[in-house]
Each structure stands twice: as structure tokens, then as C-alpha cells.
Amino acid sequence: MLTTNAFAGIGALVGDPARASMLVALMDGRALTATELATVAGVSPQTASSHLAQLVAGELVAVERQGRHRYHRVATPAIAQMIEGMMAVAATGSANRRAATPTGPKDLAMRRARTCYDHLAGRVAVAIADSMVVRGEIRFGVDGGELTGLGARLLVNAGFYLPQEDGRRGRRAFCRPCLDWSERRPHIAGLVGRALLHHSLEWAWLRTVAGSRAVIVTPLGRRMLASLFELSPDLWEDVV
């Protein structure tokens, strides 16, 4: 059962600026070393190790060992969803809070398309979700999301691999809305969102940017995504 102490403990872990910076850096789905996260947070390696030990103990971050190295990643998709949601909430509200917190990424490339843990976020991702909702291919509700038969046929016919939906309790969500940090509207998460991102990367519709959550929509990707999801040409107006 959830207790107020447990709830407050999570808030305290996320509330430290250095730990918050580390969690945001891990939101691109990569696993990073303590040294890399120390650089991101602007703290010494010793201080970073202390912060990471607290995040691991609080089950917000998991550690993977490869040889002599230890890599840190966001522990679960639920944690990633919490972080993205908190970023969206922090970017709204009072003028004082907005002045202290950036209202989404300032970089145009990040606003257009970026990773949100293991799925696509930004203007392009929200436009895809909007199109699929309007066309009856996805349904979003207060309890989650649903990929309809029409949507499944669209993606399968286009060559996307969709894992079998597993409704057992505790299993990864098949399809759900995720509130977009910069757009303030939902994009697609869950296994369907993961398929959209990973297959678009495999087919060179998207290209990652080293050291950033931003992803580049390639010329091929613009054509294919626009055709498949009936996206507006306005999405690409700031592409040079």
C-alpha cells in the first residue's frame, strides 16, 4: 500500500537539482556511467556516486554491470512516464515557476522530435497521435490507450512489428498516452510507441543525435511519415 512517507521520499529524490538533471539525461533511454552523469549534473564524481546510490536505493535508477564499468538507466517505463509528466507540470503553472523552469526544450530540433525513454516525443510524435486518434486507429481515455484493429492493420501493413498484447497485471502497457513535455498533449507510449520509434530508426526515417535526446527526421522519413499518418507540411517548415 502506498504511504505518504514513500510518496514524499520519491519527491525528495527527484527534488534535488543534481539528481533531477541525471534523471532527465537518462530519459533518452541510454545507460550512462557515473562520470558521464557527473558532467551532466555539474558535480564531482564522488558527489555523483552518492546521488546515484540514493536513486538506485529508491528504485528510480537501475545499474547494469559490463566488465569493470557500471551503467545507470531509468529503472522502469513507469519511472520514465513519471519524469516526463513532472517535466510537463513544471513547465506550466505560475509565472514564478515558469521563470525558474524552462517551458520545454528551447532547441527547435528537440521540440520537433526527441526520444522519451523508449518512444518518440515532440511535435512529430503528437501529430502522429492526433492523426491516429482522428482516423480511429487509436483511442485514448482516462484509463490508458487502445490500438484499434484499424490501427493494427495500418502498422502491420506498413511493416511495423507489433508484439502480442499481454493484458496480465504488471506487464508492460501495450498502448498508452504520454503527456508531451513541450506540446502539452499526448504522444503514443507503451509497446506501440516503442515500435514506432525503433522501426523508424531501423528504416532510417529517424536519425539519432550524439549526446542528445533529439532525433532528426530524414528526408525519407518526412515523406514516409507524412504519407502514412497524413501529417501536415507545416511540421517541416523549420527544417533546413
**Amino acid letter, 179:** L
Q: Contact 182/122 with Cβ under 8 angstroms?
A: yes
**Average model confidence (pLDDT) for the chain?**
84
CATH architecture of 4-75: Orthogonal Bundle (1.10)
Q: Enumerate the β-bridge partners of residue 63.
A: 72
First CA to last CA distance, the chain: 52
- 3-class secondary-structure state, position 187: strand
Q: pLDDT grade, residue 149 (50/70/90)? A: very high
Domain-wise residue ranges, the chain: 4-75, 108-236
Residue of higher predicted confidence among 167 and 209: 209
- 3-class secondary-structure state, position 74: strand
Least confident of 8-12, 21-25, 29-33: 29-33
**pLDDT for res 169:** 40
How far is it, in rounded angstroms, from Cα 104 to Cα 88? 8
Q: pLDDT grade, residue 168 (50/70/90)? A: very low
Radius of gyration in angstroms for the set of CA atoms belonging to the chain, rounded to a whole number: 18
What are the pLDDT digits (tens) for 90-100? Answer: 766 554 444 44
What are the pLDDT digits (tens) for 52-77? Answer: 999 999 999 999 887 788 889 888 87
How far is it, in rounded angstroms, from Cα 60 to Cα 78? 10
What are the pLDDT digits (tens) for 24-53? Answer: 888 877 788 999 999 989 999 999 999 999
Of 215, 167, 181, nearest to 86 by C-alpha is: 181
> What's the number of CA atoms in the CB half-sphere (13 Å) around residue 213?
27
Region of 230 (left: φ > 0; alpha: ψ -120 to 50; beta: rest) is: left
Quote the percentage of the chain above a pLDDT of 70: 87
How far is it, in rounded angstroms, from Cα 201 to Cα 204? 5
Least confident of 23-37, 81-95, 111-125, 150-164: 81-95
Least confident of 3-7, 95-99, 147-151: 95-99
